[in-house]
Structure 1
Amino acid sequence: MKENALKGEAENADVNISPLIDMVFILLIFFIVTTVFVEENGLHLDTPEIVPSKDTNPTEPFVLKISEEGSVFFKGEEIGSYGVKRCIQNAQSMGPLESITLEVHPQASVQIAAMVLGLCSNAQVDKVTMRTRLLEE
């Protein structure tokens, strides 16, 4: 009978773990609050200075401007739509032409802008960009 009584008590014994959970949360909060975050500095690198080479001259940008009336300008001079091809050929004779920029007035004719863009792309230039900007009078 004593054995049955001991087994019965063992089966009914419950361990209350709520104080254990409370203690774990308190320890967790304690360690979070007392943790020091160290800010580590990265490696210090000594990079060389960039020195421009003296034998290469920076190329002047090739900019064509199209006015509101449809006139085409290059370096402040009106060249007209027929002078575009000639100006590009002159610039290419002096050296390779890397890019052409078209500054088009917002009210300019789309047909003129498309024609000038076509002339620029036919000149086999690597990069032709177009942007809208008011021309200075």
Structure 2
Amino acid sequence: MRSSLETQNHNQNTQEIDLAPLLDVVFILLIFFIVTTVFVKETGVEIDKPTAVSSQDLQKNVFLLAITTDGKVMYGGTNIGISGVRSTLTQIAAKETRPLIIQADKKVTTEVLIKVMDQAKLAGIRDINIATAAGQ
């Protein structure tokens, strides 16, 4: 009889920490940070940007277009061409107005760059920037 009483007292004195609520809180925080993170949509191509001393950082919530050395205009990894710039930007700018950043390769001709900028202006984009690499 005595041994069962000692076992019962020992079980009552031993305290365990329940980790389930802690894990729930950690997972909720993880989900919160994943949902609230701003994802920057890349253009899907590698661009050799020109350098500029007066470069400055812009906000992350922007539209990105890339112009490759062979004159392809890329949006979201798809070649939309110069003729697709206006319709694409009109559709996405109707939902939300954001600045446009054009990532043009440094070997792109000025004519192609101006055509893309004209199409963006015709689509209603007023804030157009050209991406550069920071210079010394």
TM-score, length basis structure 1: 0.50
- The structure number with the bigger radius of gyration is 1
